[in-house]
């Protein structure tokens, strides 16, 4: 915990300095690191920071996949605040948006497309599990497995992902 505090002390002035100098890519990167530090222990602050990261992405005119991953950060913070219905609703809408986007963006992206998809779907899966939404657990798990297969994930990672379905399958009595 102490190292996280030390990192926060370093990151906050770094972010402010980068913004002042107009180095928004670096500011965004440092803010993303700070978000990860804050997400579990101080999700309200993480949520505020996620909005600042989104604004930075817009100023940089980054592509839709980077914007979607930014939205994923916001949804991760909402999950930590226990806002599972809101998160799940947003993720289910974003699924359709992601399916409509091209696999290769013509704008600059700061994320891997597969990672943006996995962030959104994993966040939705966490919300579905905590909200007890069995059908969405199945849908999101299947989407995640499809993306992981497409990117060549290892068998162990695929098996772990498939395991997420078991509680939902048992609830639905699909043995």
Helix (H) or strand (E) holding 38: helix 24-41
**Torsion sign across C-alpha atoms 126, 132, 133, 134:** positive
Span 52-71, average pLDDT: 96
Distances (CA, A) of 7 to 2, 39, 62, 115: 9, 14, 27, 24
> Is the pLDDT at 175 greater than 70, yes or no?
no
As given in the structure block, the two tokens for residue 51 are: 């909005």
As given in the structure block, the two tokens for residue 86 are: 């809101």
> Is the pLDDT at 167 greater than 80, yes or no?
no
Span 41-68, average pLDDT: 97
As given in the structure block, the two tokens for residue 132 are: 């007890």
Phi-psi region of 131 (alpha: psi -120 to 50; beta: other; left: phi over 0): alpha
44 φ, ψ to 5°? -65, -45
The residue among 67 and 165 whose pLDDT is bigger is: 67
In sequence order, which residues have a C-beta less than 8 Å from that of residue 146 and are 6 or more positions away? none
Output the pLDDT for position 166. 75
> Is the pLDDT at 105 greater than 80, yes or no?
yes
> Is the pLDDT at 2 greater than 90, yes or no?
no
As given in the structure block, the two tokens for residue 137 are: 């657990």
The per-residue pLDDT of the chain, averaged, comes to 93
Q: What is the pLDDT of residues 108-144, one digit of tens each?
A: 999 999 999 999 999 999 999 899 898 999 899 999 9
Output the pLDDT for position 170. 77
As given in the structure block, the two tokens for residue 160 are: 């772990």
- Alpha-carbon gap, residue 113 to 163, rounded angstroms: 24
Output the pLDDT for position 169. 72
């Amino acid at each position: 915990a102490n190292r996280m505090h030390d990192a926060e002390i370093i990151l906050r002035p770094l972010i402010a300095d980068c913004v002042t100098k107009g180095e928004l890519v670096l500011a965004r990167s440092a803010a993303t690191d700070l978000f990860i530090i804050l997400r579990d222990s101080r999700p309200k602050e993480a949520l505020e920071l996620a909005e600042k990261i989104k604004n930075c992405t817009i100023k940089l005119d980054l592509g839709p996949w980077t914007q979607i991953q930014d939205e994923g950060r916001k949804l991760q913070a909402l999950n930590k605040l226990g806002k599972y219905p809101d998160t799940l609703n947003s993720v289910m809408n974003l699924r359709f948006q992601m399916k409509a986007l091209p696999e290769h963006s013509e704008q600059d992206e700061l994320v891997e497309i597969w990672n943006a998809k996995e962030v959104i779907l994993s966040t939705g899966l966490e919300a579905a599990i905590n909200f007890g939404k069995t059908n969405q657990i199945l849908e999101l798990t299947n989407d995640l497995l499809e993306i992981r297969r497409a990117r060549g994930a290892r068998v162990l990672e695929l098996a772990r992902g498939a395991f997420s379905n078991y509680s939902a399958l048992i609830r639905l009595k699909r043995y």
